[in-house]
Amino acid sequence: MERSNPVYPPVEERGTPRVGKGSACVDQEQRLLYRSILLAVDCSDHSSRGVTEAVALAGLAGARVTGIHVYAARLHDMRFRQMESGLPARYREQEMLEQQRDIHNELIARGLTLIADSYLDQAARACREASVPFAPCTAEGKNYRELLNETNSGRYDLLVIGAQGLGAVPGSSLGTVCERVVRRAAIDTLVIKDPKRRLAEGPIVVAIDGSDHSYGGLTTALALAQSWGTRLHVVAAYDPYFHYVAFNRISRVLSEKASRTFRFKEQERLHEEIIDAGLAKIYQSHLRIARSIAAERAVPIETLLLDGKAHAAIEKHVHAVRPSLLVIGKLGIHADPDLDIGGNAERLLRNVECGVLLSQRSHRPRIDTVAAVTTTWTAEAERRMERVPEFARKMARMAILQYAQERGHTVVTGNIVDEATALFCSGHVRKAAEAGKGPRDAGPGNEDPGADTHP
């Protein structure tokens, strides 16, 4: 696809694309941005802002925009039939009633189509002025269902939709159509929540929890921040307070005998001394991994570890920073296969006032990047690895790290080395690793003469 002209002029101004970047950097940004955008339009304030943002995003990577409007002709026709009994008597006479039906059918058939075309013309003009390819799309039926059919058709990698439509009421933060579509959409979804603010103004806030979706959102946010020249905040939130509440409640119901069996006091002390610190370390490691990913792309970021209920802590930070965009994984680290949207994502989508990008892109950081900040090896495991031939050691080490990470281990023991080498490594590597077992591997000079240590 040919690249279109940028939407904003190439001047050094906050919120506009930077200039002077190498071609490799530009190519990388384009790969991380969107190439086919579906835009829901209905001429509401949120929709109009969505048009502006879709055009801006398309201009960053030569993307194509498809505008869609869904109208419900059959619903209007049904309502008219239901209201016929309430018409004045003169309109209920057969000749007059048939005439009214014909007029109404004509108005519905042509009128709603004309309205839909008018909505799409607005988006078409904006794209034409920015030299962005545009295609119109109309559908008749239940609005959320038809919008989802197009969204999940496999032709798009981003949906842009207003949080509210023409039927918005004061006090509402999320319309029913938006909510239904967001839950079921299979692609990244940008929800426009502030119709008066450009996303490129920044800053951007990204929330990560160690899931592939959150890291996928981070890579998109890095590309946007570099293109727009905006600040990027990366936050991770952990909850060290929950167990205090839980233990307090448990202490009220456990009998003295049950408390001794459960070793309640020891368990409580374990949480206070180990688990709280361990949770902080886990989420701090997510931020360190984020810094490594950002450094690879030469994008400066600010990181912050938050404590408290995840959605509440992130929401508080968003209110303090006032970003133009919040990027979060649609599903979190603890999601099960049947979940449509994570609890934290759902709460934040409802409660924050800025735009929200729900990421479904997956990015798995390199094994060595993750291992550098999360994984340690026991002395026994390191001795086993010394027995692996040097030419195969790096490959074996990476396979073992992958095996450990997939199973949630952050300490590689001798047993894990055995399990991983049995599963992944070739025969001679496995034999060499196994040669490190037993009391004879305590020091040099005690090698097993029967071990195959050569290729």
Based on the fold, state whether residues 179 and 103 are members of the same structural domain.
yes
Same structural domain for residues 47 and 146? Answer: yes
- Of 12-16, 246-250, 327-331, give the range with the top mean pLDDT: 327-331
> Is position 122 within any domain?
yes
Do the domain assignments include residue 4?
A: no
Question: Are both 312 and 394 inside the same structural domain?
Answer: no
Whether residues 313 and 395 fall in one domain? no
> Based on the domain organization, do 302 and 436 belong to the same domain?
no
Residue 54 domain-assigned (yes or no):
yes
Q: Which helix (H) or strand (E) holds 37?
A: strand 36-40
Residue 438: pLDDT over 60: no
Is 438 in the same domain as 304?
Answer: no
Distance CA 242, CA 244 (A): 5
Residues 325 and 195 reside in one and the same domain: yes
Inside any domain, residue 277? no
Domain membership of residue 403 as a residue range: 375-442
Residue 53 lies in a domain: yes
Q: In CATH, what number is assigned to the domain containing residue 437?
A: 1.10.8.550
11-15, 173-177, 247-251: segment of lowest average pLDDT: 11-15
What is the residue-wise DSSP string for 170-195? TT-SS-HHHHHHHHH--SEEEEE--T
The residue among 359, 394, 409 that closes a domain is 359
Contacts of 1 (CB under 8 A, 6+ apart): 35, 62, 63, 64, 133
pLDDT of 208-236, one tens digit each? 998 899 999 999 999 999 999 999 999 99
Evaluate whether residue 251 is within a structural domain.
Answer: no
φ, ψ of residue 206 to 5 degrees: the values are: -115, 130
192 and 313 together in one domain: yes
Asked if residue 332 lies in contact with residue 251, where contact means CB atoms within 8 angstroms, the answer is: no
Q: Does one domain contain both 226 and 315?
A: yes
**In terms of domains, do 154 and 88 share one?**
yes
Q: Are residues 86 and 149 in the same domain?
A: yes
Over the chain, what is the mean pLDDT? 77
Quick check: is 6 in a domain? no
Last residue of a domain, one of 316, 335, 359: 359
**Taking Cα atoms as reference points, which of 158, 186, 197, 270 lies closest to residue 48?**
197
Please check whether residue 328 lies inside any domain of the structure.
yes
Could you say which of 315, 331, 359 is where a domain stops?
Answer: 359
Domain count, the chain: 2
Query: What b/e sequence results for 384-395 when a residue is b if at least 16 CB atoms lie within 10 Å of its CB, and e otherwise?
Result: bbebbeeebbee
Of the candidates 286, 294, 288, which has an alpha carbon nearest to the alpha carbon of residue 32? Answer: 294
Least-confidence region, from 49-63, 150-164, 215-229, 330-344: 330-344
Q: Which residue has the higher pLDDT, 233 or 445?
A: 233
Mean pLDDT of 382-393: 81
201 and 299 share one domain = yes
